[in-house]
């Protein structure tokens, strides 16, 4: 259907912004902001504060909680996390939106993928180009567009840009959830697929580290006095693997991925420490509860063994994000707006997760792949389609304008 003039005038602001957005994207991608590179994350935060000065909003930085980590020796330590960026405007407006993104990437400072190149005139290979520095620019330019519309004062927004999404958002999740409680709906700017498809329902995810403390002994002279932590850990890992739905024949969609066993030492010493690290994904919250009960049963069994102490660390840090009725309605609105712009918008469930999972806890509808079109994320072949910078900014900008104008009923309040 034709786009009304009030919307079209604002949309036209973006028509010639591809080159400007590309230049800014190159500047962002040139800053290494790996999740553990605190100095790089500070540089990125300062750059983003400069870039977001282009909108009429209040900008501040917010400390993140430290990230708890289990060492290879089973010790619990805390690691600092980069600060978040919070940007707010017109929070007294009748409708409020949470806009979320992350500044960190999976590429540490010593990773070989640090520079960009063009695969063709529309395809840029760059670290974080798609995931999600391009998405941050989509967010920014959508807001610039709204400021040039008649609806700027009819919508309020809170932006949270965190620095630990790629390592689970442990330090920022409480801030995201609290911000979601102040909003009526949420948009997250993770990358879409190359064809523009969105992620729909998402599985929940939990990361766990189970520590095994045994008894060291000489492997030859007093082998019988030792309690082998590595052996117990391997036995546990083999069992926990079988709880995957495809193997256990129940809890369809539940997966357990045993990722690593750490510990041990010289061959002539019975090892007294081990750590089993694994990830669990579930479609529904009750599947997570079932898994936790199974895990506790196993811990109880191992702790009954003489000389062995076992402890679990971790949790389901990202809850499932179902496609409920309100979220379905929100997605349908995005689809309709895409059609207005000549775009085909589709979505599908995924086993992947993101901050959209955490935000959904507040009960508001979330679309969490409104960023650029791209692919091969989390690899040295990550790419972004540059035409999608303007394309996706128009999609998000028109979505927000229609909500502000009342053309889309507030999806967080109308049930």
Give tens-digit pLDDT for 125-141.
999 999 999 999 999 99
pLDDT-based confidence at residue 59 (cuts at 50, 70, 90): very high
pLDDT-based confidence at residue 3 (cuts at 50, 70, 90): low
pLDDT-based confidence at residue 5 (cuts at 50, 70, 90): low
Which residues, 6+ apart, have CB-to-CB distance to 235 below 8 Å? none
Same domain, 227 and 296: yes
- Asked which of 271, 298, 318 is the last residue of a domain, the reply is 318
Same domain, 187 and 216: no
413: in domain: no
Residue 408 scores a pLDDT above 50? yes
What local confidence, expressed as pLDDT, does residue 6 receive? 72
Same domain, 273 and 345: no
Report percent pLDDT > 70 for the chain.
97
pTM of the model: 0.93
Q: Is the dihedral of CA 92, 176, 346, 338 positive or negative?
A: positive
Q: What are phi and psi of 406, to 5 degrees?
A: 90, 5
219: in domain: yes
Same domain, 238 and 375: no
**Strands annotated E in 136-254:** 156-162, 185-188, 198-202, 204-213, 217-218
Domain count, the chain: 2
pLDDT-based confidence at residue 251 (cuts at 50, 70, 90): confident
Same domain, 369 and 335: yes
What local confidence, expressed as pLDDT, does residue 413 receive? 47
Same domain, 17 and 78: yes
Same domain, 232 and 351: no
Same domain, 263 and 307: yes
Instruction: Please give the average per-residue pLDDT across 156-168, as a whole number.
Output: 97
Q: Which residue has the tokens 């063994």?
A: 305
- Asked which of 300, 318, 336 is the last residue of a domain, the reply is 318
Q: Is the dihedral of CA 66, 67, 68, 73 positive or negative?
A: negative
What local confidence, expressed as pLDDT, does residue 25 receive? 98
CA distance 261 to 72: 9
244: in domain: yes
411: in domain: no
The tokens describing 118, both together, are: 């063009």
- Asked which of 301, 318, 335 is the last residue of a domain, the reply is 318
Domain of 300, in residue numbers: 204-318
Same domain, 286 and 159: no
pLDDT-based confidence at residue 412 (cuts at 50, 70, 90): very low
Give tens-digit pLDDT for 260-297.
999 999 999 999 999 999 999 999 999 999 999 999 99
- DSSP per residue, 79-132: E--PPEEEEEE-TTSSSEEEEEEE--BS--TT-S----EEEETTEEE-TTIIII
Same domain, 302 and 173: no
What local confidence, expressed as pLDDT, does residue 2 receive? 52
Same domain, 37 and 165: yes
Same domain, 265 and 337: no
Q: What is the CATH number of the domain that holds 254?
A: 3.30.70.360
């Amino acid at each position: 259907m034709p786009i009304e003039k009030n919307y079209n005038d604002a949309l036209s602001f973006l028509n010639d912004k591809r080159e400007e957005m590309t230049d800014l994207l190159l500047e962002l991608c040139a800053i290494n902001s790996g999740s553990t590179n605190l100095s790089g994350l500070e540089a990125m935060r300062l750059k983003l504060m400069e870039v977001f000065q282009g909108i009429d909003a209040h900008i501040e930085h917010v400390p993140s909680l430290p990230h708890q980590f289990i060492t290879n020796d089973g010790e619990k330590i805390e690691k600092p996390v980069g600060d978040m960026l919070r940007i707010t405007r017109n929070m007294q407006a009748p409708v409020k939106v949470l806009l979320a993104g992350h500044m960190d990437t999976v590429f540490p400072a010593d990773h070989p993928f640090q520079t960009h190149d063009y695969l063709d005139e529309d395809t840029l290979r760059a670290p974080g180009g798609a995931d999600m520095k391009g998405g941050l620019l989509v967010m920014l330019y959508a807001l610039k567009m709204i400021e040039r519309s008649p609806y700027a004062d009819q919508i309020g927004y809170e932006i949270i840009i965190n620095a630990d999404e790629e390592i689970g958002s442990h330090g920022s999740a409480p801030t995201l959830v609290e911000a979601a409680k102040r909003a009526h709906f949420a948009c997250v700017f993770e990358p879409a697929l190359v064809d523009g498809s969105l992620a729909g329902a998402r599985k929940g995810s939990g990361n766990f580290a189970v520590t095994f403390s045994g008894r060291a002994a000489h492997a030859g002279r007093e082998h019988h006095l030792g309690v082998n932590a590595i052996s117990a850990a391997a036995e546990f890992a083999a069992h926990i693997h079988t709880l995957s739905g495809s193997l256990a024949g129940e809890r369809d969609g539940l997966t357990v991925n045993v990722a690593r066993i750490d510990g041990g030492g010289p061959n002539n010493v019975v090892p007294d420490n081990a750590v089993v690290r694994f990830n669990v994904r579930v479609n529904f919250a009750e599947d997570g509860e079932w898994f936790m009960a199974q895990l506790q049963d196993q811990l109880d069994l191992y702790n009954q063994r003489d000389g062995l102490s076992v402890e679990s660390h971790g949790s389901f840090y990202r809850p499932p994000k179902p496609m409920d009725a309100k979220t379905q309605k929100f997605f349908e609105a995005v689809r309709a707006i895409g059609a207005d712009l000549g775009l085909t918008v589709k979505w599908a469930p995924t086993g992947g997760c993101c901050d959209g999972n955490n935000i959904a806890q507040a009960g508001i509808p979330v679309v969490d792949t409104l960023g650029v079109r791209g692919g091969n994320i989390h690899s040295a072949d990550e790419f972004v389609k540059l035409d999608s910078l303007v394309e996706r900014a128009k999609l998000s900008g028109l979505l927000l304008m229609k909500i502000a104008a009342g053309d889309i009923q507030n999806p967080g309040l109308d049930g």
